[in-house]
Structure 1
């Protein structure tokens, strides 16, 4: 029996929780470097603190994926993990910008890193079953639609989450300048709001999506004589590890080839999230790199001149604007992504999008410090360097690349994975997201320090080169036409 098609709104409900999860991710991506820098982290060490995010993904997602494949109870198959992760993530979001409260336990900078780790681990507990839920509920012929709706909701959440600190400063009036060793009030309240949105959107999906029973799932996916997964099935650790290694060795060829593309594209994305704020603060707002050095700050008694604190706050807020811009462009592109992929093929769509993203990163350096202009953003008016406004142009290419990265690898991969192993393979595929970020985190800071002399704009250019290499590697991906149940 073929799997029933879903209405548009059923597909929407299945994916709606992604809006809140990405709202939280957007706040993290746009503000974690800002928070850690405010709490005392050096510029070249930022990427090391950011390592906790991919490491958590590397550890958590395959475990959660395998567990959700085998845990089928009255609350559902994926929903218990989705909801549990969201609750912990919301708590982490509320605590991270308040790391200075816990000075008696750890230094604020280290406490911030701990909260980042907890928050990101919980995000991953929520995110992986969400991806598997889309594969579970959406039939193969609607897969492009399913992942495009998912990408649209992710980017709506990202737009609002990225804009929030800027809005709280320029519309509500909260202060965006941080005192030494503390976090700006606008950022703290943004994280409180983000925690609320995350939990609310996940609850919507959990209560509006009825998962299939094991019998229905096996029937729709063409799985015959398969044992019914239950939460009580147990195997010893050695057997589980042996089976896990076998899965990695026998992973579909398409997954291995996509891993190369993922390496280049996620290496570039990690650099963007970590170093955009210092890059534009230095290159556009004219802040000397020494003001990002804990050693220099200690030598001047940890006192930031008012103009430097104000400029860093403005640069941090503008990161939210340009991150919201690329997410908005990604959301718009997502609306057309299904038609484009259906017409030109997934590979050409994927490669072309990465090319535009690479060009976007490379063009960051074309906009140096310039005169201040008055800009009406409709929601508020601000005075900013003209070159900051011009950064919205390269964000078009970055946004198109981001939309494709969120949808195309999974659309290509989903037809190559046996349905009964969809969750664990989607978890294993997260290795191809986490590993390049770990490599980037280990070497980017050293490249910035010893090759680029702490001038962060050059490492954004390096991200552009890696994105272009990702586009080239798409050519070598062999798209599978096998049915869902094939290996």
Structure 2
């Protein structure tokens, strides 16, 4: 059986729209908070963490809710359409609030955007496994991730091109560009994907598949081996620590570049675009490498690259094109980590509780993204903006220490017919 690439592309449009928005959120909202409303770094970091606080509660809720409903349009599609529509309308109020310096309008509109994104984030992610046969989900997930990176690249490119080099830029054009991409992507998805019909076809295919992991034959009441549980604990700690390091850069770099390097307009987006573009180019080679040397070694190599890039970033006292080379290594390192970390978590589970372990993965990654904007923001405000890169360097090294203690979840897969199949764990 072969993967339906055309179908997977259309399914991935939902994730493309999501990634496009979050790239906008991480880069522009901190600038509005700081430059327009004069909010300090600690409070900016706190406000930037709100989306992850909401996500901890709302993503499981709407994901479970979409499991239980059944409409003529499917289980997931209504959430995607409703969430995107509310998000596009409310996000256009944000640049209006910025231009008029109306904080009440800004706070309310941003709250509506974050709520609407939570409505369809989990259903959009669940659409892929719903409409993909079990034995093809790994390959499909690789394509979904690539499309998410394309959405992020689009936003970074628009930031670089559309934001004028002035003290108080008007952000309407960049919000309009991202809103158009989100709306266009979801319209194409709804036209191309008939969820109910496809889900029935896939359900029949899955019923015919009898392949089961040896872990599935174990009694559900059996507890996890202590050694495996210890490895899982260290792996989850590693996930928390490297997200703490990486998210500090992604949420504060726009302010760092404008204040420390005196970059104007959207020039800061170029380095982030290099990191994301390099990650895209690295996915397939890293999939091949991890298939040959194992996931743990590949992740450790990624941590070393990330740590080295954070260390080098500190020495740039002003903007230099060489920073793009540093961020290129950041992108490679992050790709090595992100491609292999989730499969390692799931490797320690049974197929029957993959959802539970997926929840653990996102709990620790989102917790880091709540914690780090607040702590790093406090350091930026009360000590110096120059603490940003050392902060990320320290937490990255700590993730290396915990990762060295992980001794399970590192199976080397059998060589695949397609390199895309190296990206993730077999379902």
- After TM superposition, the score normalised by the length of structure 2 is 0.81
CA shift at 1:406, angstroms? 4.3
Question: In structure 2, how many angstroms separate the alpha carbons of the residues matched to 1:344 and 1:119?
Answer: 42
Pairwise CA RMSD of aligned residues?
Answer: 3.4
Return the offset for 1:193: 1.0
| Distance in 2 of aligned mates of 1:464 and 1:334 | 23
Tell me how far apart the structure 1 counterparts of residues 82 and 361 of structure 2 sit (CA, whole Å). Answer: 22
TM-superposed CA distance for 1:101, in Å, is 6.7
Q: Which residue of 1 aligns with 2:177?
A: 193
Cα deviation code 1:13-44 (max 9, x no counterpart): 32232222211111112211111112221233
Match of 2:392 among 463, 471, 487: 463
Match of 2:415 in 1: none
- Using a 3 Å threshold, how does the CA distance of structure 1 residues 16 and 44 change in structure 2: closer, same or farther? same
Q: Is the contact made by 1:357 and 1:467 (CA closer than 8 Å) also made in structure 2?
A: yes
Name the SS of the counterpart of 2:267 in structure 1. Answer: helix
Contact preservation (8 Å) 1:155, 1:331: yes
Report the Cα offset of residue 151 of structure 1: 2.1
In the superposition, relative to structure 1, how do residues 464 and 78 fare at CA in structure 2: closer, same or farther (>3 Å)?
farther
Query: Is 1:147–1:407's contact at 8 Å kept on the other side of the alignment?
Result: no
1:11 corresponds to:
8
Note closer, same or farther for the CA distance 1:123–1:449 as it changes in structure 2 (3 Å cut): same
Q: Quick one: which of 151, 155, 165 aligns to 2:159?
A: 165
Query: Offset of 1:395 from its aligned partner?
Result: 0.7
Report the Cα distance in structure 2 between the residues aligned to 1:36 and 1:47, rounded to whole angstroms: 10
Q: Which residue of 1 aligns with 2:329?
A: 397
**1:191 is paired with a residue of what secondary structure?**
helix
Tell me what 2:203 maps to. Answer: 217
Query: Structure 1's 217 and 141: CA in aligned 2 closer, same or farther, altered over 3 A?
Result: closer
Equivalent of 2:378 in 426, 435, 446: 446
Identify which of 326, 336, 344 aligns with 1:412.
344
The residue aligned with 1:84 is 82
Q: Give yes or no for contact 1:417–1:485 (8 Å, CA) kept in 2.
A: no
Number of residue pairs matched by the alignment: 398
C-alpha displacement at 1:192, in angstroms?
Answer: 0.8
Distance 1:281 1:403, change over 3 A: same
Deviation, 1:197, is: 0.2
Q: 1:430 and 1:10 mapped to 2: Cα distance?
A: 26
Aligned to 2:261: 284
Question: Does the CA contact (< 8 Å) of 1:330 and 1:402 recur in 2?
Answer: yes
Give the CA deviation at 1:422: 5.5
Q: What residue is the counterpart of 1:239 in the other structure?
A: none
- Ranges in structure 1 where 5+ consecutive residues have no aligned partner: 170-174, 225-245, 286-310, 370-386
1:317 counterpart SS class: coil
- Write the distance in 2 (CA, Å) between the matches of 1:122 and 1:406: 26
Q: 1-side partners of 2:233 and 2:397: how far apart?
A: 19
Shift of residue 96 of structure 1? 1.5
| 1:112 aligned partner | 106
C-alpha distance in structure 2 between counterparts of 1:356 and 1:153, whole Å: 24
For the pair 1:340 / 2:289, whether they are aligned, the reply is yes
Change (3 A) 1:118 1:262: farther
Unaligned runs of 5+ in 2: 211-219, 412-424
